[in-house]
Chains A and B, each alone.
Chain A
Amino acid sequence: MRIKEHPILEFTPGKKIKFSLDGKEFEGYEGEPIASALVAAGVKVLSRSIKYHRPRGFFCAIGKCSSCLMKVNGTPNVRTCVTKLEEGMKIETQKGKGDFS
């Protein structure tokens, strides 16, 4: 969900673009972090812990906590909270420690 009205802030998002998560199409704004586009689209689980597969969500927003590591265009362990969204990006939830493919 996006904030529709705000007493102080005016949001001027970039171009609306399409990207995919695990093959499913999503929409977000160019230049916002991937993870923020995912949260806005209602995606709460971004990754799973390696050993016990516990769900992990958006947590620190500054690329420090590793909760949002995902596979982006084939590259594993991308910190999606500090990586800008681009048109046509292929995002995948990764298993375990991640692998190139």
Chain B
Amino acid sequence: MSTVIWVPKDSAAVSIGANDVAQALENESKKRGLDVVVKRNGSRGMFFLEPLVEVETANGRVAYGPVDVSDVGSLFEAAFEKGGAHRLSLGLTEDIPYLKNQERLTFARAGLADPLDLDSYISNGGFEGLRKAIASAPQAVVAEVLESGLRGRGGAGFPAGIKWKTVLEAQADQKYVACNADEGDSGTFADRMVMEGDPFCLIEGMAIAGLASGATEGYVYIRSEYPDAIKVMGAAVVLARRAGWLGQNVGGSGKAFDIHIRRGAGAYICGEESSMLESLEGKRGLVRAKPPIPALKGLFGKPTVVNNVLTLASVPIILAKGAAFYKNFGMGRSRGTLAFQLAGNIKNGGLVEKAFGVTIRDLIETFGGGTLSGRPFRAAQIGGPLGAYVSADMLDLPMDYEALAAANAMVGHGGIVVFDDSVDMAEMARFAFEFCAIESCGKCTPCRVGAVRGKETMDKILAGDNVASNVALIEDLCELMTDGSLCAMGGLTPMPVMSALRLFPQDFDRAPNLAAE
């Protein structure tokens, strides 16, 4: 039998040469006349080890990484296709501590197989959740999701079951499921990993949401910055439809549900749910005022389940293994696991799925290995560009929605961007306003004007111009933006600004810039 070698085709792995490595492995094995098949899988999420090459052996999959094209010759000389020892040997993939010490529920299948291999999806537990949903009444499925404690993984943390229940109970001739795959936040790539690496899982989650809420059509709104995710999702939908998991008779249920893939067009604000709905309708992505909530008047004015990719991708395992199983992970009102994403200036960047309650320190130091630059840690931004910065003395906080909120921070989607001591936090505060000014939809004044004024005022502070009074102005402006903005864009921009100001006041204490005068 041929030896199977896996090389990820995840776009992050490809971004540092996975395609070239796969090609080189194929060429070299041919040259040596070896019976080797190079297959392409999704990423395991250990991006610091990419391109991560895995060899199937009698003992399990043996990993090598990070592999460069120049390593290919020596790998064959070490008989790596039989699991031979090499400088890049990492042992059995599943024993790599980074992976072994995780609690992979949503990402249980990440990197196991070809993402578009439907048979292997099914043999690895795929569609068990949907089968259960088909065999249950919609009310029972909604109750299960509610009972699991699953909260929106996109950042806001709203209980998914409550949204589903609202849509189920709404009376309408048409309902929709809209999947938010506009993962625009810096420090996040988990949605992309699901779509590129385990697309059927998202399709299954959406189909369950459809059956549970009475929606017959689903849309996945994928940002245009993710061309590979768009391709893989599109192909997966066709395959699922052909196999009868989508369409007029979902999995033999007698009920209809189908999925359309839609591309975004480079607007960050379209990650906000009502802006995304406008965009799905072919309009400018202007935020809608609430109420009415999307669960009652959403896409095309119809009741709509709007959930993030990870929320929907977590549903299959909840149905398959039961709410109690899922709920057993986590702490307080944060149940289950979160896909933490270690990013920025960090040695071991990648995806770490852990139960809520893991400390920030565990993630950054134990998993992440500290900064990549080797310089001392200074700050981390948690939960995206609208999330707060945390300082070194906050690292023992547990990752829990309520615990972080009590510390004036937020879990968000679990993205963590690490900065070393070279970061200028006043510059980061300025950037938060600049970003808001670029990406604001412009509908409400606090966000549209506040962001521009904030940036201008930060420029004055950076130049040492009337620092004390300008800092007071920033504080006042942040209060107004928090209270007066229509959505989280303007409402949360003060989070990074105020946390930087509160935790690193010395960075704002600028002397007048004499050269500029």
**A, B in one complex:** no
